[in-house]
Structure 1
């Protein structure tokens, strides 16, 4: 052909990708391997969201096209679910020319849950972003932060990004991502507020069509159902779930989002009361999961839903066998929440969903076979606490921690000093009044994590941060010098990690006020400012509030009366008389005696008459009355027992047989 595609496109004003695709196909009919026509066709297919067709064009062409359109090749692989291949294609040399490749690699790493690499790439891209690209990069970066929080790896998120800023409220995507971050950290109220903001921004976006708005608002509403269920507002959650259902399934293009929204709606609606109907809904969603795999934490929750339904339907043997097979492939002990949850389901299936002592009969033998199973251990400890036997639960946990500590391996030591296990141990100690044991446990855990962070240079997770804060606070109350020194070191490490942490700054000031700097002191609010809104006169006039009897027992002593204080006159006590009291009638003189000891007492029935005769003075009990009569006090002589001889034992017995 005399004119190539580039010259042809320069002469025309084609802006429709369908027209570009049509023109490229016409050229390829005459010149099959024209590289410019193939490149234009691929770009048009990507803009038309025909990613499978774009991959087919690449795979049916020679290697030169993949090298020339390397960025498009990586993007097409990512959009068709081949994220790992996209990462291999997108990895090129650093430089400004590689920004597009880095963006594709960051997205593909996000999809493969390589969050550390994705965060690293996005930080570099955001730092050098210009113009409109900065907003898009920040939205994508905030999505990675949300996934990190959901996967309990919030230590990889910048400390400054954990606080909601003004930029998070400008677009519905950023508001939605900020809401997800809050929900993952358990900040439900703030998450609900951000979701409402995201919905308002989405519905008010002028650049989106009506259909596009509905598609974007469905994930927001699905997350709102989750928040309301967590807050216990089931009626509101059901109303929003019905609103989503009225939009139709075809609105949501992403199959994972459709499945999650469906599950949340099922829990908020009536289907969750019928486990068989709920299993049918989940089973239908499992077909879509085979096409688009969800994230690991989402898949784990969906599987747990299925296991819970099997427990409700009584499929105990099948559930116990399938879960045991999965657990056999994982080495205990582990801190993986997925496997520890499986241990709970396995224990519940073996106990046939019973609780209390009946469940313990089935679980304790399993603990002997798997002595390092964290999930099973915590389940048994919880059952002991529920039955009122906290001491046995404490003893079991102590033996378990001692067993892990004896091995000395780094992995088992991390499990032994896991913040969750330490928190449970400390709670049991404090409930039993063993404050010294709780203090020692926190001190050992704090020293372990400080040593590990110094040797391995690992980032502190939020669980470890909270553990160090709790340990430092309790150390400050101790009278031992080594505990005070450890508290100062802990708060120093926390302050160096985040100098905006006021808790750490206050801890440093309390632990070692002589070494605190002016900057640390000024970061805290002054006492005058803290008490500026307190009305001291009103507090003094109101008196001291006394704790209730349910909170603590208080011994109150009556103040000594002075000579000047007149004694209050005693109020005469109101007489209490029976309702049928007659002052003219003489009361019964035997009214203070028990009923059986009164002279007017007359037993009723045949046995009562016989007993009355037996109790009469000088009467002799006969027949069956003699057996029921009270025996006399034995004398100092020999008392005959069984087999002591003597006859007459069968004198009153009747002979058996016919008369």
Structure 2
């Protein structure tokens, strides 16, 4: 009886009658709850009707047998309900096939495992002979994955660089390429591509008016963001007219659109209006939630608005609660930004030294909080106190070194944190500390499976400046490691040759052919132009030249400068006659001029006494003595020569 019902069910099943199929399945399952085929067909019908929650409940009631027989459907239902870990586990256990690869790529993309998603799309693109209808969809998804890789900070895995002619004929591919340019910070190119995508979508004959409106909305939202970044606020106002928040069905897109509209309208003049506008749209959930980099910015804007309306205690509570649920220490940007907003709330609107006095004590209680550490370092540097900033970082590094956790060690040698420390060392000219820090980091990362190439290259280049043969040998090993990772990297070859040339020239002589010749390097240099321009001075010589120039501006006037200097009429004497030659001794005091003739007896005596080489008069000497000196001498003699007499 059950078999006959199933046969009739399958005969009546059609792609347009999923509701009737569902009713027939329910009728069969009412008589036999454990009918695996009926359960499988019911799940498919529910997925076709977009009733994903009911499909997942059917899987839960059906048990492991149904999950194994319909593993692909179970993975898809879990994916649509936002259970990404469950979906990933199910799809990896499903039978291998092209459909499973497509679904896994979607699940990995939504779970932000973009590297694996890119690998899957690349594998699917290799075999398109028998699946030519998938080429366009695969191309669209590949561009979207590359944009996400760029946003996540993994540009080394991005595969697309240029748009082909076929790519420019599809508004989806053009839009995704614009997103990739936005992730790179190339907003002008993104603006051009978004305008093209918009025009292609509007003139498409394959889309209905309703579909066009739905596709144009996210393009307009992205245009708004680009125009804000370019500072084209008037054009952004025009784009606002094309965006209707109420018509956006996806909560994630609605949240982003609302955020950008608030910023475009510059409501920050009244922080309370800004606060209300940013908290109007509800948060997206499940499979419609924001990606991490989007959520980080939205949460950051929300906390910034809270600080503007002085909700300091609320920000402290919310950020502290969020930080308690995240692992620390961490190099995750979202986690560290929470620490920054927590510190800003602790400062309560103060800046500079006042803010530092409130925040610095927190670092003693949370020494491995990198977000808090970088906030303190920024405040120290802003006050011109780089030494204290270095001390704060070194104290945190020592705390991380004492930990036995492998995660803490990777944080301690993270390229971002060390780059801040090295930059501060450079400001104070601590070359030895720079070399030691980078060498320690390189020694750690060489033992790890995925070493950051940028840090290894910086460490190797720093060791090249050492005169120690051990440092040069270490630099050679680092450059050799980089060369093994990328055989086309000429920088690693050049560094290896430079490090070993003084140690063992015969060992690197064979690799010189891999380096470009001198003529190739200077082929496009205009020697004549360089000679005419002169030699650019170094920083020290430029500073000396600036000081010399400043001194030259303060030099004493020469003998001919006064004659050539124009004198204002207001400074000329009343009886000035331009035809008459001025007195050459007019700059000397009157008594020092050759025409000076003293008047009176005392004046003549003083003039005679001041005459160099003339006779000296005792009267003149006595006349020059002060009354106090005369009285002192006279009083002493009078007392000494006084005769004794009767009292």
When normalised by structure 2's length, the TM-score is 0.72
Q: Which runs of 5+ in 2 are unaligned?
A: 550-558, 578-582, 591-647
Q: What is the deviation of 1:196?
A: 4.8
d(CA) in 2 for partners of 1:89 and 1:146? 27
d(CA) in 1 for partners of 2:432 and 2:567? 55
Q: Deviations over 1:96-137 (max 9, x none)?
A: xx3212322332233234456545544543444442324423
d(CA) in 2 for partners of 1:241 and 1:35? 58
d(CA) in 1 for partners of 2:187 and 2:487? 26
The equivalent of 1:150 in structure 2 is 151
Matched position secondary structure for 1:553: helix
d(CA) in 2 for partners of 1:26 and 1:397? 67
2:573 to 560, 573, 582: 582
1:304 to 300, 303, 311: 300
| RMSD between superposed Cα atoms in Å | 4.4
The equivalent of 2:483 in structure 1 is 495
2:472 equivalent to 1:468: no
The count of residues paired between Structure 1 and Structure 2 equals 560
Are the aligned partners of 2:224 and 2:260 in contact in 1 as well (CA < 8 Å)? yes
The equivalent of 2:79 in structure 1 is 78
d(CA) in 2 for partners of 1:400 and 1:509? 37
Matched position secondary structure for 2:105: helix
The equivalent of 1:622 in structure 2 is none
2:222 equivalent to 1:223: yes
Instruction: Give 1:265-284 correspondences, 5 Å limit.
Output: 265-284=261-280
Are the aligned partners of 1:6 and 1:36 in contact in 2 as well (CA < 8 Å)? no
d(CA) in 2 for partners of 1:486 and 1:162? 36
When normalised by structure 1's length, the TM-score is 0.71
d(CA) in 1 for partners of 2:458 and 2:427? 16
Matched position secondary structure for 2:279: helix
Instruction: Give 1:43-62 correspondences, 5 Å limit.
Output: 51=52
Matched position secondary structure for 2:573: coil
d(CA) in 1 for partners of 2:547 and 2:351? 43
The equivalent of 2:552 in structure 1 is none
Q: What is the deviation of 1:354?
A: 1.1
Instruction: Give 1:127-206 correspondences, 5 Å limit.
Output: 127-130=126-129, 131-153=132-154, 157=157, 161=159, 163-164=161-162, 166=164, 169=168, 171-186=170-185, 188=187, 191-192=190-191, 194-196=193-195, 198-206=197-205
The equivalent of 1:646 in structure 2 is none
Q: Determine which structure has more spread, i.e. the larger CA radius of gyration.
A: 2
Q: Which runs of 5+ in 1 are unaligned?
A: 559-568, 594-659
Q: Deviations over 1:343-379 (max 9, x none)?
A: 2112211111211111111112222222222222211
More displaced stretch, 428-437 vs 491-500: 491-500
Q: Deviations over 1:461-511 (max 9, x none)?
A: xxx322223333333344333333333333332232233445445444544
2:253 to 252, 257, 261: 257
Instruction: Give 1:22-421 correspondences, 5 Å limit.
Output: 24=21, 51=52, 71-92=72-93, 94-95=95-96, 98-115=97-114, 118-119=117-118, 121-130=120-129, 131-153=132-154, 157=157, 161=159, 163-164=161-162, 166=164, 169=168, 171-186=170-185, 188=187, 191-192=190-191, 194-196=193-195, 198-230=197-229, 233-236=230-233, 239-240=235-236, 242-289=238-285, 292-330=288-326, 332-407=328-403, 409-421=405-417
Q: Do the aligned partners of residues 64 and 445 (structure 1) sit closer, same or farther apart at CA in structure 2, a change above 3 Å counting?
A: closer
Are the aligned partners of 1:5 and 1:37 in contact in 2 as well (CA < 8 Å)? no
Are the aligned partners of 2:275 and 2:309 in contact in 1 as well (CA < 8 Å)? no
Q: Do the aligned partners of residues 241 and 529 (structure 1) sit closer, same or farther apart at CA in structure 2, a change above 3 Å counting?
A: farther
Comparing both structures, which one devotes a greater share of its residues to helix?
2
Are the aligned partners of 2:72 and 2:94 in contact in 1 as well (CA < 8 Å)? no
Q: Do the aligned partners of residues 60 and 321 (structure 1) sit closer, same or farther apart at CA in structure 2, a change above 3 Å counting?
A: closer
Matched position secondary structure for 1:247: coil
Q: What is the deviation of 1:383?
A: 0.9
Are the aligned partners of 2:168 and 2:174 in contact in 1 as well (CA < 8 Å)? yes
2:550 equivalent to 1:554: no
The equivalent of 1:573 in structure 2 is 564
Q: Deviations over 1:33-68 (max 9, x none)?
A: 899999888767756656567668878999998777
More displaced stretch, 570-579 vs 247-256: 570-579
